[in-house]
Amino acid sequence: MGARVAVLLALFFLEACAAHREAASDSGTGGSGPIVQRQRIAASHRKYVDTELGFEVARPGADWQLDADGGTSSEGILIPVVLRHRDSGAQVVIQVAPAIATPTQFAERLVSGLRSYQGFDATDPEPLTLSDDAVGFRFSIEQKVFGRIAVQPGGSSNVLMVVATWPADASVGVTSEVEQILVSVRPVPAG
C-alpha cells in the first residue's frame, strides 16, 4: 500500500497520468554514481548523504531499511532513497524534482489532486520549520493509511519532496521515527 501511495503522490506532483519506478542500471541515474557504492554507503551508516543531488537523511535505527538505488519515475522525478520500517509497513520516500514551482505551489497542487480522489483527505499546506520556504501537510486514505508530505528547496535548483506513509495501526514509536526522518532531510551543497 505504501509504494502505491508514493506512486500516486508522484502522479500528483507533476500532474501526470502514470508513474512507476524504472529498474536502475549500474551507471546510476542522473549522475548519481555507481549504484553498488550508493547501496553500500546506505547500508553501513545511519546518515545517508547524496552530494550529487544535494541532500542528506538519517535513519532512526536498524528497524528502518534504507534503499538508495537511484530510481526514476517515468516523468523524470528522481527517487534516490526509500526508507522502509521492517515490521509496520511505514515508508518514507525522498523525491527530487526540478524547481519548476515553489514548494508552496507544489504542496498546493498535491493537496488539490489528493482531495479530488474519493477516500483521500488532506489538510491545507502549512509552513514547516525545516527551512524558510518549507511547507507540508498531512493526509489519509480511507482512515487506513496516514501520511505526511514535506516540500522544501533542495540543492542545484531542485525541490525535495518527502512522502511518508504509515498504516493506521502503527505504534506511536513508529510515527515518532517517521517524524525524525522527516526533520533529518536537509539540503547539502551539491558536489
* Mean pLDDT value of segment 79-89: 95
80 lies in some domain: yes
The most confident of 41-45, 69-73, 100-104, by mean pLDDT: 100-104
Q: Where are the alpha helices (DSSP H) in the chain?
A: 2-14, 35-44, 103-115, 172-184
- Segment 108-133, tens digit of pLDDT: 999 999 999 999 999 999 999 999 99
Range of the structural domain that residue 40 is part of: 2-22+34-187
Report residue 37 as a C-alpha cell.
Answer: 557504492
* Residue 82 contacts residue 93 (beta carbons within 8 Å): yes
* Residue 5 contacts residue 145 (beta carbons within 8 Å): yes
29 lies in some domain: no
62 lies in some domain: yes
71 lies in some domain: yes
* CA triple 12-16-20, angle to 5 deg: 85
Among 25-29, 53-57, 122-126, 140-144, where is mean pLDDT lowest? Answer: 25-29
- Segment 133-181, tens digit of pLDDT: 999 999 999 999 999 999 999 877 899 999 999 999 999 999 999 999 9
User: Per-residue b/e over 15-52, b at no fewer than 16 CB within 10 Å?
Assistant: eeeebebeebeeebbeebbebeebbebbeeeeebbbeb
Distance of alpha carbon 130 from alpha carbon 185, whole angstroms: 8
User: Per-residue b/e over 53-71, b at no fewer than 16 CB within 10 Å?
Assistant: bbbebbbbeeebebbbbbb
Residue 7 pLDDT class (50, 70, 90 cuts): very low
Residue carrying the nine cell digits 528522481:
78
Q: Domains in the chain: how many in total?
A: 1
Distance of alpha carbon 48 from alpha carbon 168, whole angstroms: 28
Provide the CATH number for the domain around residue 170.
Answer: 3.40.1000.10
Residue 191 pLDDT class (50, 70, 90 cuts): low
Q: What is the pTM of this model?
A: 0.77
For residue 74, the tally of other CB atoms under 10 A from its CB is 15
28 lies in some domain: no
Question: pLDDT: is 76 or 88 the higher one?
Answer: 88
pLDDT at position 96 is 93
* Mean pLDDT value of segment 39-53: 69
27 lies in some domain: no
pLDDT at position 45 is 58
* Residue 151 contacts residue 161 (beta carbons within 8 Å): yes
